[in-house]
C-alpha cells in the first residue's frame, strides 16, 4: 500500500475516539488512538498515521497558530507556548536573483524555541498527557531536544534527550539544558541515538516524541496549511512548489498529509498540489539517492557528515511516508554542498532573515534546481527555513565577517575606519 493523493477517506473503525484513530500506512490495520502507547503497527511494524472522520475545510479554521487548525488535529487545544503563525517573508532581491515568478520564505525559526519542532511538540505533549505518561524522550540533532525540553517542562513532565556527542549546535544544547532536560551525550551519530531511544521507549522507559510518533507530524502539518492560506490570501492561488530541508523526512511527510487531506475534502485540486521538493546535504543524502534511483526503500548511510548538523542523518525513518509525497506531487530531491548552504545562509541574511545552516539548504536547493532548469522561471515557490540563526552561533560567525579589534579611543577608531 502506498500513500496516494486520490485515496478515499476511510471509514472510522468502531474503536475510534471522538472521530480520531490511527492507521498503518502499510497494511491498513487500525488502532484506538489513546488506549495504549504505540508508535508503529502491531501487525507489520509499518508507520502509523492519524485519521479523522471529519476532513478539513478552509472556512472552519479560526484563531491563530497551530491550534487554528484544531479541526484536523486530535484535540481542540494543547500544551501551548504560542507556536505557529510564522512569517511568510517576501524576498524581492533573492526572488529576482534566483529567477522565479514568486519566492516567499516561511521562516519557522520564528517559533517559540526557534524551530518548527514546536508545532509537533504542542500536539505530541498534549497526547502524552492523554496517555498519562510521566517521562518524555527523544533522540535529536538538537532542535527536537530544545522543543521537547521546553514543552515538556511547560506540561510538567520529565524529559530525557539523547544527542550525538560533539555534533549538536551550541544554542540547542543550551536550550535543552536550561529547560531542564536530562541530556545524554551518545558516542555515535543521530541514527544510533534514535535506535537507542526507540529501544528505551519500547521498554516503557519513556514516551517517544521523535517524528516516528504520528501525532508530532499532525502538528507539523500546519506548516503546509499556513503556507497555502498565505498564498491564497496574497495571490489567490497556492504555490507551485514547496522546497524544504530533509533529515528524517518528517516535514515532507507532514506536508504531504496536509495536502492529501485537503484533496480528499475537495478543498484542493489534485493538479494544484504543490510539488514537494526535498533538499539534503551532499554528505547525508539517502533520500536524494532513493529518488534519483527510483528506489522504493532508502539505503541507510552509516557515515554522514555536513556542517548543517540538524540534517546530519543517514536513516530517514519517515521515508515510507515521504517518498510517495515527493513522487505523487511531482516534486524531486536534490543534494547541495556545505559551501552552497553557507552561501544561501548569507543570501538570506542579506534580506534580514537569519537562519541556521540546515534551513538555508532549501534556498541552496532551489537555486541549484533553477540553474539546472528543473524549476521554471514562471514558478511560485515557498522555501521553508526551519531554524533560527542563533541556534548555531558558531556557524553564523564562521559565515559572517570577523569582528575587528580597535583601541578604546575615538581617534583610534576613526583611524581604523579610514584604513
Ligand atoms: N531543519 C532543521 C533545522 C532541523 O532541526 C531538522 C531536523 C530538519 C530540518 C529536518 O527535518 O527531520 O522533518 O526532515 N531535526 C531533527 C532534530 C532531526 O533532532 O532536531 P525532518
> Average pLDDT of 25-39?
96
Report how far residue 68's alpha carbon sits from residue 73's, in angstroms, rounded to the nearest whole number: 10
Same domain? For 173 and 185 the reply is: yes
Residues 92 and 127 in one domain: no
Report which secondary-structure segment, H or E, holds 297: none
Q: Give the mean pLDDT of the chain.
A: 97
Are 259 and 339 in the same domain?
Answer: yes
**pLDDT for 50-81, tens place per residue?**
999 988 899 999 999 999 999 999 999 999 99
Cell of 386: 526551519
Structure confidence at residue 125 (pLDDT): 98
Q: Would you say the CB of residue 175 lies under 6 angstroms from ligand 1?
A: no
Structural domain contains residue 35: no
Mean pLDDT for 314-319 is 98
Q: Does 157 map to a domain? A: yes
CA of 144 to the centre of ligand 1 (A): 7
Measured CA to CA, the distance from residue 53 to residue 10 in angstroms comes to: 8
Beta carbon of 247 within 6 Å of any ligand 1 atom: yes
CA 398 to mean position of chain CA atoms: 25
Q: What is the secondary structure of 332-381 as a DSSP string?
A: EEEEE-HHHHHHHHHHHHTTT--B-HHHHHHHHHHHHHHHTTSS-TT-EE
Residues marked as binding? Answer: 143, 247-251, 386
Residue 389 shares a structural domain with residue 243: yes
Query: What is the maximum alpha-carbon separation in the chain?
Result: 81
Centroid of ligand 1 to alpha carbon of 164 (angstroms): 14
Domain end (from 213, 234, 267): 213
Which pLDDT band holds residue 8 (cuts at 50, 70, 90)?
Answer: confident
C-alpha span between 117 and 120 (Å, rounded): 5
pLDDT given for residue 374 in this prediction: 98
Quick check: 1 pLDDT over 70?
no
Instruction: Tell me the helices (H) and strands (E) count for the chain, helix number first.
Output: 13, 13
Average pLDDT over residues 240-260: 98
Q: Are residues 235 and 339 in the same domain?
A: yes
Query: How many domains, in total, are found in the chain?
Result: 2
Are residues 168 and 256 both part of a single domain? Answer: no
The response to whether residue 310 sits with its C-beta less than 6 Å from ligand 1 reads: yes
Residue 172 domain-assigned? Answer: yes
61 in a structural domain: no
Q: Is 171 in the pocket of ligand 1 (CB under 6 A)?
A: no
pTM exceeds 0.95, yes or no: yes
Q: Which mutation among 181, 248, 281 tests ligand 1's pocket best, with the greatest number of atoms within 8 A of CB?
A: 248
Domain end position, chosen among 166, 191, 213: 213
Ligand 1 centroid to Cα of residue 322, in Å, is 14
Which of these, 94, 102, 89, lies nearest to 344 by C-alpha position?
94
Segment 331-345 shows an average pLDDT of 98
In the prediction, which pLDDT does 19 show? 93
Distance in Å, CA 200 to ligand 1 centroid: 21
Q: Name the binding residues for pyridoxal 5'-phosphate.
A: 143, 247-251, 386
> How close is the Cα of 343 to the center of ligand 1, in Å?
20
**98 C-alpha to center of ligand 1: Å?**
25
Q: Indicate the pLDDT class of residue 239, thresholds 50, 70 and 90.
A: very high
Axis-axis angle for helices 117-130, 214-235 (nearest 10): 140
Residue found by looking up cell 518528517 in the block: 250
Q: 142 in ligand 1 pocket by Cβ < 6 Å?
A: yes
Quick check: 258 pLDDT over 80? yes
At residue 154, does pLDDT exceed 70?
Answer: yes
* Each residue's pLDDT tens digit, 264-290: 999 999 999 999 999 999 999 999 999
Residue 276 within a domain: yes
Rounded Cα distance, 150 and 318, in Å? 24
Best of 141, 169, 190, 316 for a ligand 1 pocket test (most atoms within 8 Å of beta carbon): 141
- Residues 230 and 339 grouped into a single domain: yes
Check which CATH number belongs to the domain holding 96 and give it: 3.40.50.1100
Atom of ligand 1 nearest to the CA of 210: 19
Per-position DSSP letters for 238-272, written without gaps between them: --SEEEEE-SSSHHHHHHHHHHHHHHHTTSS-GGG
What is the band of 205 on the pLDDT scale with cuts at 50, 70, 90? Answer: very high
pLDDT computed for residue 11 by the predictor = 85
Average pLDDT, integer, range 381-409? 98
Per-residue model confidence (pLDDT) at position 228: 98
Q: What span, in angstroms and rounded, lies between the C-alpha atoms of 82 and 189?
A: 32
- Domain membership of residue 320 (yes or no) is yes
Of 174, 139, 189, 141, which Cα lies nearest the Cα of 159?
A: 139
Cβ–ligand 1 contact at 198 (below 6 Å): no
Q: Are 235 and 380 in contact (CB under 8 A)?
A: yes
Give the structural domain span for 206.
Answer: 117-213
358 and 340 belong to one structural domain:
yes
Task: Using the CB atoms, write b or e for 369-384: b if 16+ within 10 Å.
Answer: bbeeeebeeebbbbbb
Same-domain check for residues 107 and 251: yes
Tell which residue, 86, 363, 78, has the closest CA to residue 209: 78
Residue 133 lies in a domain: yes
- Is 311 a pocket residue for ligand 1 (Cβ < 6 Å)? yes
What share of the chain has pLDDT > 70, as a percent?
A: 100
Instruction: Answer yes or no: do 224 and 346 share one domain.
Output: yes
103 and 123 fall within a common domain: no
Domain boundary among 213, 242, 269: 213
How much distance in Å is there from the Cα of 93 to the middle of ligand 1?
27
Query: Is 42 domain-assigned?
Result: no
| Pocket lining: 386 vs ligand 1, CB cutoff 6 Å | yes
Residues 221 and 330 in one domain: yes
Amino acid at each position: 500500500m502506498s500513500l496516494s493523493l486520490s485515496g478515499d477517506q476511510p471509514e472510522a473503525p468502531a474503536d475510534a475516539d471522538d472521530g480520531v484513530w490511527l492507521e498503518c500506512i502499510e497494511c491498513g490495520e487500525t488502532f484506538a488512538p489513546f488506549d495504549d502507547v504505540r508508535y508503529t503497527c502491531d501487525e507489520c511494524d509499518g508507520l502509523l498515521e492519524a485519521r479523522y472522520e471529519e476532513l478539513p475545510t478552509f472556512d472552519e479554521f479560526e484563531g491563530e497558530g497551530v491550534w487554528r487548525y484544531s479541526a484536523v488535529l486530535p484535540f481542540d487545544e494543547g500544551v501551548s507556548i504560542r507556536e505557529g503563525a510564522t512569517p511568510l517573508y517576501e524576498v524581492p532581491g533573492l526572488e529576482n536573483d534566483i529567477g522565479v515568478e514568486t519566492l516567499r520564505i516561511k521562516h519557522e525559526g520564528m517559533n517559540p524555541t526557534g524551530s518548527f519542532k514546536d508545532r509537533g511538540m504542542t500536539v505530541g505533549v498534549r497526547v502524552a498527557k492523554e496517555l498519562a505518561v510521566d517521562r518524555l524522550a527523544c533522540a535529536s540533532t538538537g532542535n527536537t531536544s530544545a522543543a521537547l525540553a521546553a514543552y515538556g517542562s511547560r506540561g510538567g513532565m520529565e524529559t530525557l534527550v539523547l544527542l550525538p556527542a560533539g555534533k549538536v549546535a551550541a544554542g540547542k544544547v543550551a536550550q535543552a539544558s536550561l529547560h531542564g532536560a536530562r541530556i545524554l551525550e551518545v558516542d555515535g551519530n543521530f541514527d544510533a541515538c534514535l535506535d537507542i531511544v526507540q529501544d528505551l521507549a519500547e521498554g516503557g522507559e519513556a514516551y517517544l516524541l521523535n517524528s516516528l510518533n504520528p501525532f508530532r507530524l499532525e502538528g507539523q502539518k500546519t506548516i503546509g496549511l499556513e503556507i497555502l492560506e498565505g498564498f491564497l490570501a496574497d495571490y489567490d492561488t497556492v504555490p507551485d512548489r514547496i522546497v524544504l530541508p530533509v533529515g528524517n523526512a518528517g516535514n515532507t511527510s507532514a506536508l504531504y498529509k496536509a495536502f492529501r487531506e485537503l484533496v480528499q475534502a475537495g478543498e484542493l485540486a489534485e493538479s494544484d498540489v504543490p510539488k514537494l521538493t526535498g533538499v539534503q546535504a551532499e554528505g547525508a543524502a539517502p533520500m536524494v539517492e532513493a529518488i534519483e534511483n527510483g528506489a522504493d526503500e532508502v539505503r541507510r548511510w552509516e557515515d554522514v557528515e555536513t556542517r548543517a548538523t540538524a540534517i546530519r542523518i543517514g536513516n530517514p525513518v519517515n521515508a515510507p511516508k515521504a517518498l510517495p509525497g515527493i513522487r505523487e506531487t511531482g516534486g524531486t530531491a536534490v543534494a547541495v554542498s556545505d559551501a552552497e548552504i553557507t552561501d544561501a545562509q548569507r543570501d538570506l541574511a542579506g534580506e534580514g532573515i537569519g537562519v541556521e545552516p540546515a534551513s538555508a539548504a532549501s534556498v541552496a536547493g532551489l537555486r541549484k534546481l533553477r540553474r539546472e532548469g528543473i524549476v521554471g522561471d514562471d514558478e511560485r515557490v515557498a522555501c521553508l527555513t526551519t531554524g533560527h540563526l542563533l541556534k548555531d552561533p558558531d556557524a553564523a560567525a564562521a559565515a559572517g565577517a570577523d569582528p575587528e579589534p580597535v583601541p578604546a579611543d575615538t581617534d583610534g577608531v576613526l583611524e581604523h575606519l579610514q584604513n
